[in-house]
């Protein structure tokens, strides 16, 4: 019993030592659907008085994306002194979707929008986290409007904003906190926008990848060392938030995720869209089970994966990914079936019609919750620039919001009773089955899992 206590105590001490920003409970609101998120973001843009900074992997040139960008141009026209900036991944903006041509990219659209609004400056910055997209992307999340932080793992397009019936499910929090907003804003201004590697994408004479290769390498190194700067004066007894940011395997964010899991005294819930956990997190979860803790994992069914291709549609190589993730999950459950049988381990698969699941987060002992866009996979762990908000709620001031959110997340899930409920490779479509076996022969499936 003493060794069990010591196991979690040292990790709890790491969390206790974190600087924390005080947060009023009346100024934090959880939204429960992508439609609410879409409406809240537009409303915040329309009511902005000082600044609007949107940071996201991509802003897509579809109905949902147009709605956001049009709102930003309208806001700037109405208030010329309003400080507006959009930050997106440099590489993602200059290609089409996977499997499509790059004849009309998001960057091309940004340029057209700028030309259609002469004299109205809404800059779109491309942030190159590495020299190639496969080696790292801008995966920061957060929309900063005056003293408001709207945090979600969602990107900005039709499916994330639920514009055409279908949706991609995520988490959505609205937090009014001037110190938090300024902390996130200052990081963007002083570590990203001013970097020589970061250039505007809404300019037809935009810089080419080759021209900034040297700057990008130096930028990546600087990002490893840069962090959020703030004074955390909150006590251990009050509702508080710690913003976290990091790049690379040894980043402060990764270390806190590890400490968070290992600090669990009773129960832990983890949500991730893709079951492809880093080795350290798998060890942490197994360690918790061996110590008698309750572990719940909520993951998307393979058909709720954004890379899933229905069998009646033409198959592309990228469509093998959901099957690889399911293989990982089946292997994990097979290894830990005894904990499923005794009720310690609960694994839920999320599926709802043809909608998809993009939800991430960690809840520990009704005291901590991590809000993040981090996928908890090897790519996010090693390659991408990630951030998160760690909420400490010792008095359970957010209990009602937290439980309602988790209830809704579980609504369209099915708990796995046995690993055999998941399909085996022999059950997959012929093209998928052949491709997986071919990849395994040359051992490239492991490389794929680390970069996608």
306: its two tokens: 């954004």
Write the CA distances from 140 to 54, 187, 236, integer angstroms: 10, 11, 27
Q: In the annotation, is 386 catalytic?
A: yes
Report yes or no: 233 and 22 within 8 Å, Cβ to Cβ: yes
Q: In the annotation, is 170 catalytic?
A: yes
Q: In the annotation, is 412 catalytic?
A: no
User: What's the CA gap between 144 and 153, in Å, rounded?
Assistant: 14
Write the CA distances from 206 to 56, 123, 124, 209, integer angstroms: 20, 12, 11, 10
Query: Closest Cα partner for 246 from 54, 84, 390?
Result: 390
Please identify which of the residues 7, 11, 139, 191 carries the catalytic annotation: 139
Other CB atoms within 10 A of residue 39 CB: 14
User: What's the CA gap between 411 and 9, in Å, rounded?
Assistant: 34
Please identify which of the residues 60, 147, 170, 384 carries the catalytic annotation: 170
User: What's the CA gap between 371 and 365, in Å, rounded?
Assistant: 15
Q: In the annotation, is 358 catalytic?
A: yes
Give the up-direction half-sphere exposure of residue 90: CA atoms within 13 A in the CB hemisphere.
27
The alpha-helical segments, DSSP class H, found in 232-351 are: 252-262, 279-290, 321-335, 337-341
User: What's the CA gap between 45 and 86, in Å, rounded?
Assistant: 12
Instruction: Show the CA angle centred on residue 440, arms to residues 434 and 445, nearest 5°.
Output: 105
Please identify which of the residues 133, 301, 326, 386 carries the catalytic annotation: 386
Report yes or no: 20 and 239 within 8 Å, Cβ to Cβ: no
Sign of the torsion angle spanned by Cα atoms 392, 396, 402, 403: positive
Report yes or no: 61 and 68 within 8 Å, Cβ to Cβ: no
Please identify which of the residues 7, 91, 191, 358 carries the catalytic annotation: 358
Q: Which residues are catalytic?
A: 139, 170, 358, 386
């Amino acid at each position: 019993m003493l060794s069990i206590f010591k196991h979690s105590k040292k990790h709890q001490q790491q969390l206790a030592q974190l600087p924390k920003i005080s947060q009023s409970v009346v100024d934090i609101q959880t939204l429960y659907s992508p439609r609410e998120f879409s409406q809240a973001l537009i409303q915040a843009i329309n009511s902005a008085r000082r600044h609007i900074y949107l940071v996201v992997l991509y802003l897509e040139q579809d109905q949902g994306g147009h709605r956001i960008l049009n709102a930003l141009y309208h806001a700037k026209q109405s208030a010329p002194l309003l400080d507006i900036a959009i930050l997106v991944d440099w590489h993602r903006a200059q290609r089409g979707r996977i499997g499509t041509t790059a004849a009309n990219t998001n960057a091309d659209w940004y340029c057209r929008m700028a030309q259609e609004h002469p004299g109205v400056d809404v800059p779109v910055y491309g942030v190159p986290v590495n020299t190639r997209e496969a080696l790292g992307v801008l995966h920061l999340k957060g929309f900063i409007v005056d003293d408001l932080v709207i945090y979600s793992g969602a990107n900005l397009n039709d499916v994330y904003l639920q514009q055409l019936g279908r949706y991609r499910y995520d988490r959505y929090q609205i937090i009014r906190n001037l110190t938090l907003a300024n902390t996130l804003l200052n990081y963007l201004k002083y570590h990203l926008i001013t970097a020589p590697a970061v250039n505007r994408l809404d300019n037809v004479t935009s810089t080419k990848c080759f021209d900034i290769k040297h700057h990008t390498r130096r930028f990546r190194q600087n990002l490893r060392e840069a962090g959020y700067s703030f004074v955390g004066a909150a006590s251990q007894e009050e509702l508080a938030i710690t913003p976290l940011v990091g790049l690379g395997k040894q980043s402060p964010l990764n270390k806190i995720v590890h400490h968070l899991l290992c600090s669990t005294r009773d129960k832990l819930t983890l949500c991730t869209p893709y079951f492809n956990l880093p080795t350290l997190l798998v060890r942490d979860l197994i360690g918790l089970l061996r110590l008698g803790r309750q572990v719940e994992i909520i993951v998307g069914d393979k058909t709720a994966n954004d890379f899933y291709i229905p069998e009646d549609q033409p198959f592309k190589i990228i469509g093998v990914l959901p099957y690889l993730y399911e293989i990982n999950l089946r292997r994990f459950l097979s290894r830990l079936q005894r904990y499923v049988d005794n009720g310690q381990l609960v694994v839920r698969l999320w599926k709802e019609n043809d909608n998809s699941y993009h939800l991430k987060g960690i809840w520990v002992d009704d005291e901590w919750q991590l809000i993040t866009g981090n996928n908890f996979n090897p790519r996010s762990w090693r390659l991408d620039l990630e951030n998160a908000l760690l909420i400490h709620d010792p008095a359970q001031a957010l209990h009602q919001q937290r439980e309602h959110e988790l209830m809704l997340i579980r609504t369209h899930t099915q708990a796995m009773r046995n690993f055999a409920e998941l399909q085996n490779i022999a059950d997959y479509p012929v093209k998928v089955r052949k491709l997986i076996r071919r990849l395994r022969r040359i051992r490239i499936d492991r490389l794929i899992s680390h970069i996608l």
